Chains A and B, each alone.
Chain A
Amino acid sequence: MHLKKLIIVPAHNEQANLKRTIQEIQQLTDDYHVLVIDDGSSDTSAEEARACGVEVVSLVFNLGIGGAVQTGLCYALENGFDVVIRIDADGQHDPASIKALLEPLMNKDADMAIGSRFLESLPTFQPGPMRLCGIHFLAGLISTLTGMKITDPTSGFCAWNTRAMTRFAEEYPIDFPEPESIVTAVRSGLKIREVPVRMRHRQAGVSSIHHLMSIYYMVKVTCAILIRMMSAV
């Protein structure tokens, strides 16, 4: 069964990392289409991507990771892709784990597969103590509210099938897409499976989440999740 597979690479000012990430993806043996979503970058991210020969969608202004990923999902639906995989431009997601990530989707076991850093003792990058605390808290919150046990709810390394794509192309969380989309997925009746994946330390540049904002971020995520539990599916 031949599936049309798309890898989306949302990028915001990642000129230092993008070329390396794309080249890593291009070394994969399976045939994947690649789409870079330039989320209103003010640097040369789009040019770097085009120089590698991949397609780029440049957003006129910055929408944030939620908007960028959603753009990728819309592109996938419009072009008849069967599965979409998200690989972040900063190099944290190891493309070698993509095959494992796609397995539950291929087996029709899941509509959405999430790559977790905590499922196996793979030599994978572990986040700092503060973030770990936050991740465990969110995992507990989501488990309590939805019954779904996700070990890595902030992981952006995920894959969607057409069913999940269709739901999220219509509406995708703006503020904290990763944990919020888990809640939405469960409430929409989408099947989620977690897969152990390998992640690395961000190669260069600055992450969009700073240490000082961690607690503020946690409060906001919790409120967003609670509100999402109230929303219409």
Chain B
Amino acid sequence: MTVKILALIFSTVLFLTVVELIRRRRLSFKYALGWLLIAGLTFFMALFDTILFRLAYGLGFELPSNFIFFAALIFTAFLSLLLTIFVCQQNSRNEKIAQKLGLIENKLEALSRK
């Protein structure tokens, strides 16, 4: 019973935290949506735990907690991969900007020398 309450509190806190971050423009829509969905899903699953249990047993887990840990692990792994991809894109964009900046400075220098 306490687990259920903890889960409900956690998901609510997560949801409200993300909403507040959005309000303060620290998070934008694209990246916030995933977190809002997860918080919502967690809240829903905690509230209707019978669905959660049926899903866990149905998938072949001995205990519902095993399923919860497994799901959390998969989610974290997936999120890490997503973030890695994002970082990669940021790096290549930064490289392009650094190069362009250098080339522009060079052009300016050449122009001011004329």
Contact = CB atoms under 8 A, between A and B. Distances in A.
Q: Mostly helix, strand, loop or mixed at chain A's interface?
A: loop
Nearest to A40: B96
Interface in A169-185: 171, 174-175
Contacts of B100: 60
Interface in B2-54: 19, 22-25, 28-30, 32-33
B97 A232 contact: no
A227 B93 contact: no
Given A60-B97, A61-B96, A223-B33, A174 B28 contact: yes
A230 B19 contact: yes
B23 A231 contact: yes
Interface centre among B19, B25, B28, B97 (most CB of A within 10 A): B28
A228 B27 CA distance: 11
B97 A227 contact: no
Given A230-B23, A231-B23, A232-B25, A61 B93 contact: yes
9 contacts: A60-B97, A60-B100, A61-B96, A174-B28, A174-B29, A175-B30, A224-B29, A232-B24, A232-B25
Given A227-B32, A231-B22, A232-B24, 6 more contacts: A60-B93, A61-B93, A175-B30, A227-B33, A230-B19, A231-B25
A231 B24 CA distance: 6
B25 A227 contact: no
B96 to A, nearest CB: 5
Q: Mostly helix, strand, loop or mixed at chain B's interface?
A: helix
Interface residues of A, number: 12
Contacts of B24: 232
Contacts of A227: 22, 29, 32-33
A1 to B, nearest CB: 36
Contacts of A231: 22-23, 25
A25 B32 CA distance: 40
Nearest to B96: A60
Nearest to A173: B29
A232 B23 contact: yes
Nearest to A226: B29
A171 B22 CA distance: 14
A59 to B, nearest CB: 10
B87 to A, nearest CB: 16
A161 B98 CA distance: 33
A40 to B, nearest CB: 9
Contacts of B96: 60-61
A175 B28 CA distance: 10
Contacts of B28: 174
A60 B103 CA distance: 12
Contacts of A230: 19, 22-23
Interface in A206-231: 223-224, 227-228, 230-231
Nearest to A224: B29
B93 A175 contact: no
Nearest to A176: B29
